[in-house]
Structure 1
Amino acid sequence: MFFDDRLATVLRHRAASENAARTQFRQLLDLLGNRKYGRDESLIAAAWLRLGALGEQIPAADRARMVAEPGWRFRSPELAAHLAEDEPEVASAALSRADLTEDDWEALIPRLPIRARGFLRLRRDLPEGAVVILERLGIRDRGLPQPTASADETEAQSSGATERAEVSDFPAAEVDLREAETPAPPETAPVDESIEQPIEQLGQGPSAFPDLAKEADKSVDPDSDLMPMSPHPVETPPPSQPRSAVEGEKSEITALVERIAQFRRDREAGVPPVDNSPQLPLGEMPEKNKRGITGFGFATDAAGRIEWADPAVAPMVIGKRLVPARRLGDDAPVDAMARAFSRQQPIENAPRTLDGAPQITGQWVIDAQPRFARSGGRFHGYVGRFRRPAPEGMVDPRAAAEADRIRQLLHELRTPVNALQGFAEVIQQQLFGPAPHEYRAMAAAIAGDAARILAGFDELERLARLESGNARPAEGSCDFAAIIGPMTEQIQQVLAPRMAGLDLTRETSGPMILNIEEGDAETLAWRVLATLAGACAAGETIALTLSHGEGQAILTCQLPADLISQDDIFAAQTRQTNAAGLSAGLFGAGFSLRLARAEVRAAGGVLEVKDDRLTVRLPLLTEVAGANSETSTIKRSEAGIKQG
C-alpha cells in the first residue's frame, strides 16, 4: 500500500443512519487507535471532530461496548486520553482496553482525570513505571470510601457505647475489647414487655439463644470475684419511646451476655479466638490461584550446566546439569539425551527428572538445539526449553496443531479444484451451449481427475483427524465375517483375468460382531483388501485367514511381493497400481495402509506388519449377535485415548 487513504475514505461518507454512525465510529476507532497512522494532520483533526460528533449520537453503553471489542488495535495514547473524558463506562472500557508502551503510559497518566486514574487500578498488566506514577499520584485504593454516617446512626452508636461501658464492670473484663465493640446481630425473636425481667433473665426468655444463656449462668463460679448480674429490674421506658429502641437495648445486652459465656467456654476448651473485626474493602475477595510452572527456556554451557533460564525459575535451576558429568573410562552413554549431548546433536522429546524446589520437582521433557560460535564453530552448549509432559490420555498439542494446519491447507486446495471440476462439468454437459466433442472429452477427463484429487484430499483430512484423536469410526453393529466373504469374491472377479486372486480361509465359523457401523466396517475392509489386491502381480495369489480369539476378530493377509520389497510399507507414493479397476488411492498403497491402521486404532484394534504378513485385530462386540460386550467397549475407548 503506497498511499493510505483509508481515513479520507471514511470521512468522505456521511453517517445518515444509526447503523452507519455505529459503523463509522468503529472505523474511526480502528484508524485512530493505530499509533503509526502517518496521515495528514488536517485529516486527523477532522477525524477527532467526527469521532466526538458520533459520540453524541450513540448512547454511552453502546460506545463502551464497541470500545471493549477485541477486534481492533488500541495503541494510541491520544485516543485513550480522548475517551477518558467521556462517560464513566466509556472511560473504563477504554483504559481497560488500551495497549500502550511504558513511555506512553507515563506520559498519559498525569493527563487523565482523577476519576479515570482510578480505573487503571483494576488492571494487573500495567508496566512498572505506570504503577509507580499511580502510587505517586495517590491512586492506592480500588475500593469505594465508607459512606458518611447519618446523625441518627451516630447517636445510636454513642448510646450503644455507653450501655456497653456500664455492663463492662463484670465478666466483660475478661472479654477481648475488640469483640465487645463489634455490633451484635439483630434479635429476631419478639420480647415480652408485659412483665419486668431482671437483666440476668433476658437471655432465658424469648431470646434466640436460650441454651447459650443457661450455660452462661451455670458457668459463673460463686466463689470467684465475678459476681452475677444485679437482680434489680430494668426501668420501663416511657410510652413515648419507640418499641424498636427497647428491643435493640435488650438484644445488645443479651448478645453481650452470650458472648461472655462463649468466651469462657472457648478459653476452657483451648479454642483460639476468632477475629471478628471488619474486613478491609475488597478484602473478602479470594486470592488468585498461582499457576504452576509448565515450561521455561534455558541455555547451557559446553559442559551441559544450565547458565541461564527464565527469570521466574532461574534461582531454582541455574547450575543443574542436563546430563551427568562423564569421567575417563566411562562406557558410552546409553541414554538417548546423553548420547545426543556427547555427539552435539539436537535433543527432541527427551525425558528428564528435576529435583529441588517444589515448583520444578518432577518429570519434564526437553527440546534443545546445540549452539556454536560464529567464528571457528566452537561448541558453546545448548539452548532450548523444558516443558511438562502432557497428561496421560491427552492429545499431543503439537500433533493436533499440525493436523489443524493440514485441514486448513486442504480447505484452501479444495476451492480451485472444485472450480475446475465445476467448469469442466459445464463444458462436458453443454449447459451454456453446444461444445465440440473433443472439448467435451477433455472436460470429462478433467472432471474425473478433479474427483480423484478431491477423494485424495478427503483421505488426507480423515487421516489427520484420526491421528489427532478428533474422529473415530461410527459405533454400530456389523458382522465382520459377512463383510469379508462377499468382498473377497468381488475382488476375485477383478483379479481372475490376470491369473491372480485372493484365497480366503476361515478357521472358525459363526458371526464376528464388531462395534462399528456397517458402512465404516465395509470401507475399512475394502481399503485393506483392495490395496493388497492392487499390488498383486500377474499369477500371484494372496492367502487370507479369518479367525477370532481373545475377544478379537483376526484377519491375517499375506503381503504381495511388491510390498515386501519396500523399505517402508506405510510410505506414501504416487505410482499407479498394477491391477486395473482396483485403486489404492491417490497417494498409493502405503498411504492407504497407514489410513487403515489409523482407522483400526480408532476402533480399538491393531494393524501390524510382521514376517511378511499383515494382521488386523478388531475387538468383538459379542460372541452372539445382539448382546453387548462391556469389555470390548472399554478396550475400544482405551485404544481411542492411546492413539492421541
Structure 2
Amino acid sequence: MQFDDRLDTVLRSRATGDLARRTQYRQLVDLVGTPREDREGAQMEEAYARLAELEADIPAATRAGLLRDPALRIASPRLAARLAEQEPAVAAAAMARATLREGDWLELIPQLPIAARGYLRHRDDLPGTAEALLRRLGVLDLVLPQPDIVPLPGDDAQDEPLELVDIAPAAQDDANEPVETEEPVVESEIGALVQRIEAFQKARRRPVSEAAPRLPLNDAAHGDDAPDAIDFECDPAGTIVWAEADHAPMLVGTRLGGPVIDGTMTRRMPLAGIPVTLDGAAAIKGDWRIDAAPYFHKTTGGFAGYYGRLRREPAEDDDRPANTAADRIRQLLHELRTPVNAIQGFAEVIQQQVFGPSPNEYRALAANIAGDAARILAGFEELDRLARLETGALELGDDESDLAAIFARTAQQVAPSLATRSARLSYEGDAQGAPVAYGRDDAERLAWRLVATLGAAMAPGEAATMQRVEDPKRFVLACDLPATLDDRDDVFASGAGGTSGALSAGLFGTGFALRLARAEARAIGGDLARIDETLVLSVPLLTAAGAGHSEKAEQAERA
C-alpha cells in the first residue's frame, strides 16, 4: 500500500444508524490505536473528536464489548490513557487489550487512574519493569499471599503454629468505601488476624446492582427490567465466565449446552441465532438466541472460548420484528455500502480531476469503476427494499396515484427500445381512472420494474400485450408472459429470464425483479400472480375511500 488513506475514508463516512456508529467506532479505535507518524496533527485531532461524538451515542457496555475484540489493536499511549479515564467496563477492556512498548508503559502507568492501574494486575504479559512500577505504586493482587508462620503468644505448645495473612489494601473504585490502611492496635495476634480478614472482605465488597439475584428469585422487579440482550464470554467448554455487570451474578457459571451448540463449539465455528433456554432469576429466565464468535490466545493461538451476545426471543404479542434472515441481510447490506461508497467516491474524484489533472486513460477507468459501483449500490437498494417489504419494516405512505396512466405511459417509453428488435409490448384498455394508495414515485418504480422486466425477456419479433381488466373495486392488469418466461415453472425463482438491450430486469435477474414487484403489490393490499400464460397484477382502488372522504367533508361543511 503506497498511500494509506484509510483514516480519511472512515472520517468521510457518515454513521447514521446504531450499527454504522459501532462499526465506525471500532474502525477509528483500530486506526488511531496503531501509531503512525503520517497521522499526527489535524487529522488525528479530527479522529479523536469523532471518537468523542461516537462515545456519547454508544453505551459503555457496547464499547467495552467492541474493545475486547482480539483483532483490535490499542498500541497508542494516548488512546490507552483516554480509554482508561472512561467507564469502568471500558477502562477494564482497554487495559486488557493495550499492547504498548516498555517505555510507553513506564510513562503511562503513573498517569492512569487508580482503578485502571488495578485492572493491569490481572495481566501476565507486562514487561518486568512495568510490573515493578505497579508494585511500587501499591497495585497488588487481591488474592491471599503466602502466610507467615508465627507462634501463638502465651501458648505452652510452641510447636503449634498459627497462620497469619498479610493483606495489602487493593485499589478501590470511587463508589467503594475507603479501606483503612493503618492496622488497629489489638491486644493479641488473633485480634489482628480478625481485623485483617475483615479488611480483606471489605476490599472485595462491591455495590450490589438492582438486577442482581436475591430471594425470592421470582421477584417481580426482575421481570419488569428484564434485558433484551446480554453480552457474555464463555470458556471452551461453553461455561459463561464473564457477563455484563448487572447480569454477571445470574449468568457466570452457567453452561450453554445442547446438541447444536456443542457440535458448533467442537468445530470452533461461529454461533448464529441458535436458540437456548435459560433457567434462574426472572431477569434471565426464558428463551434466548445466541450469536457468538470464537476467539484464540494471542500468544499460543489455542482456542480460548467465545465472545457473544444473548438476545431475548420476542414474545408472541411483541410488535417488534424478529431477528430473521431478512434482518441479517439488511445489516449485511448496511456494512457493504460503506466500502462501495468509498470506491465510488474515489473513482469520481479521479474522473472529475478534483485534485488535479489525470490521464484520460485513468479517467476512463475511473468512470467505469464509478458506474459499476452505482449499479452495485442500486442492487443493494433493491435487496434492502425487498427485505423491508417482506418483513413489514417499510411503511408505505398514504399518497395517491393513477396506476393505469402510469402503466400506459411506461409502455410508450419502452416502445422505442423494443422496436430495435422488432418486438412490441402494448398497453390496452382504459388508460386512466385507477387511483391507488401508492405514491407517484413508488408507483412509477413498480410499473417500470414490471414493464422493463417483461420487455427484456422478449425475443426479437415477439409481441405481447398488457390488458386492463374491468373491475369496479380493483385495478387488474393481465400481462402476456414472454416465451422465455412461459417455459419456466416458477417465474419468481432466482435467475429466471434474462436481459437484453437498453432494458434490464435489474442486477439480480428477472425472477428477483418479479418477486420484488409482487412484494410491492402485496404491501398495498394487492398481489402479482401467474395464471397459466399470463402474469396478473391486482391492486385495490381508492373509489370507496374517496367517497368516504367526500362524505366526511360534506358533514364538516354542514357542521
Q: TM-score under structure 2 normalisation?
A: 0.49
Q: TM-score under structure 1 normalisation?
A: 0.43
Of structures 1 and 2, the larger Rg is shown by 1
